[in-house]
């Protein structure tokens, strides 16, 4: 099992033809797209049909696209690839894909080691004058991505000419030449070799269309039976609660009628309105309880009185400010006693 691709169980899409929906779980979107390109080129080598699924943008709307943030309706999902063809050919492809991805990633790692050796050599000193440790780490990361892209681009080529390095240019600009060097040093990657036992195991995992439809119907039937069981339990709980309430009401009425001497006038009757069970309500997520701050923490000095200025009162409640501080006429202000 490769860590660079997830292979769900293939299914029969037509008589004698199977389809597999591959997923590339790399954290970097660009690296996942490079794995997608490698799998695409390998499918062409094995004579299979491949297509990239369409991914709908959940944030799309007419307003967002025309007058908002320019959100598009969707795009091709480069993290997935749908490959189809004859069952035997598809099984050989899936077995070879895991090995080819691992070997190409190993070649990219070898290219990074070549970059590190060049960085420590005398030939690299003129190009590292204005580079520091941070920029060199970025250079190495981008160099590995470029080498992996070059390897994926030349995957289907039968003859790979080896380019010569140019000593007047830094090595991070010559990722294509380094990719060809590591490819030639490793003797290339066999794109068609597949273990027969692994191919047989993949063919055993392939599900015919009838079996897949039966499994889907079985899952739907199990979900329906579970929903009916939960609904029956809910109705039974409502019935028990209604019977308990009715019994308590009858006992209270009988005791009151007996005490008032009117038991014969108002007999306890069993006729009650039919039980109506309300439909299930959706469960709303509960908010987290607010943390109450104790008074001692809010007023550490021991007092519980806070002086509020007039500006604060006018900001939150203008009417209260007018009631607390009424306007004083000029004559009254003139004869007001001095403070």
16 vs 51, residue with greater confidence? 51
> Is the separation of the CB atoms in 38 and 93 below 8 Å?
no
Of 154-158, 192-196, 266-270, 314-318, the poorest mean pLDDT is in 266-270
**Spatial distance between the Cα atoms of 140 and 149, rounded to a whole number of angstroms:** 14
pLDDT tens, position by position, 134-179? 888 898 888 888 888 888 887 766 555 666 787 888 888 888 888 8
The per-residue pLDDT for 81 is 92
**Distinct helix (H) and strand (E) counts, the chain:** 11, 6
256 vs 32, residue with greater confidence? 32
The per-residue pLDDT for 330 is 62
Please state the rounded mean pLDDT for residues 174-193. 84
Average pLDDT taken over every residue of the chain: 79
pLDDT above 60 (res 335): no
Please state the rounded mean pLDDT for residues 190-215. 79
> Is the separation of the CB atoms in 8 and 21 below 8 Å?
yes
Six-digit token pair at 181?
């060097």
pLDDT tens, position by position, 67-83? 777 788 888 888 999 99
Q: Give, for 14, the enclosing helix (H) or strand (E).
A: strand 11-14
Distance of CA 87 to the CA centre of its chain: 32
CB atoms within 10 A of CB 171: 23
Output the CA–CA distances (angstroms, integers) from residue 300 to 122, 295, 297, 309, in the order listed: 68, 8, 6, 21
Of 79-88, 204-213, 304-313, the poorest mean pLDDT is in 304-313
Beta strands in 80-217 (DSSP E): 80-86
Q: For tokens 């005398």, name the residue.
A: 122
Is residue 297 classed exposed, middle or buried when 0-12, 13-18 and 19+ CB atoms within 10 A define those classes?
Answer: exposed
Q: What percent of the chain has pLDDT over 90?
A: 6
Please state the rounded mean pLDDT for residues 227-246. 86
Residues 6 or more apart from 268 whose CB is under 8 A from it? 250, 253, 254, 257
Q: What percent of the chain has pLDDT over 70?
A: 73
Distance in Å from the first CA to the final CA of the chain: 89
pLDDT above 70 (res 23): yes
The per-residue pLDDT for 277 is 67
The per-residue pLDDT for 339 is 44
The per-residue pLDDT for 122 is 86
Residues 277, 280, 281, 282: what is their CA dihedral angle, to the nearest 10 degrees?
A: 180
- Provide the 8-state DSSP code for 207: B
Q: For tokens 């090995």, name the residue.
A: 99
166 vs 108, residue with greater confidence? 108
Per-residue pLDDT band for 321 (boundaries 50, 70, 90) equals low
């Amino acid at each position: 099992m490769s860590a660079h691709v997830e292979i769900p169980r293939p299914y029969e899409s037509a008589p004698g033809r199977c389809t597999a929906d591959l997923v590339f779980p790399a954290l970097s979107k660009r690296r996942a797209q490079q794995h997608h390109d490698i799998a695409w080129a390998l499918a062409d080598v094995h004579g299979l049909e491949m297509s990239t699924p369409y991914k709908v943008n959940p944030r799309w709307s007419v307003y967002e696209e025309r007058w908002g943030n320019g959100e598009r309706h969707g795009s091709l999902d480069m993290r997935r690839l749908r490959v189809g063809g004859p069952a035997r050919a598809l099984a050989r492809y899936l077995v070879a894909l895991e090995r080819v991805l691992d070997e190409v990633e190993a070649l990219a790692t070898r290219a990074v080691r070549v970059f590190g050796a060049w960085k420590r050599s005398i030939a690299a000193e003129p190009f590292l004058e204005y580079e520091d440790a941070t920029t060199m780490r970025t250079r190495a990361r981008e160099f590995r991505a470029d080498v992996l892209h070059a390897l994926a681009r030349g995957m289907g080529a039968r003859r790979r000419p080896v380019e010569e390095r140019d000593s007047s240019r830094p090595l991070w600009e010559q990722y294509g030449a380094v990719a060809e060097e590591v490819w030639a040093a490793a003797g290339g990657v066999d794109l068609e070799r597949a273990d027969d036992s692994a191919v047989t195991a993949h063919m055993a995992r392939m599900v015919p269309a009838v079996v897949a439809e039966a499994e889907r119907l079985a899952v739907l039937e199990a979900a329906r039976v579970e929903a009916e069981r939960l609904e029956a339990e809910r109705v039974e709980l409502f019935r028990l609660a209604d019977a308990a309430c009715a019994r308590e009401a009858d006992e209270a009425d009988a005791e009151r009628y007996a005490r008032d001497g009117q038991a014969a006038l108002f007999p306890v009757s069993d006729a009650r309105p039919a039980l109506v069970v309300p439909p299930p309500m959706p469960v709303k997520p509960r908010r987290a309880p607010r943390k109450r701050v104790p008074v001692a923490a809010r007023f550490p000095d021991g007092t519980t009185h806070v002086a509020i200025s007039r500006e604060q009162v006018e900001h939150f409640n203008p009417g209260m400010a007018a009631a607390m501080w009424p306007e004083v006429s000029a004559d009254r202000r003139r004869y007001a006693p001095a403070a």
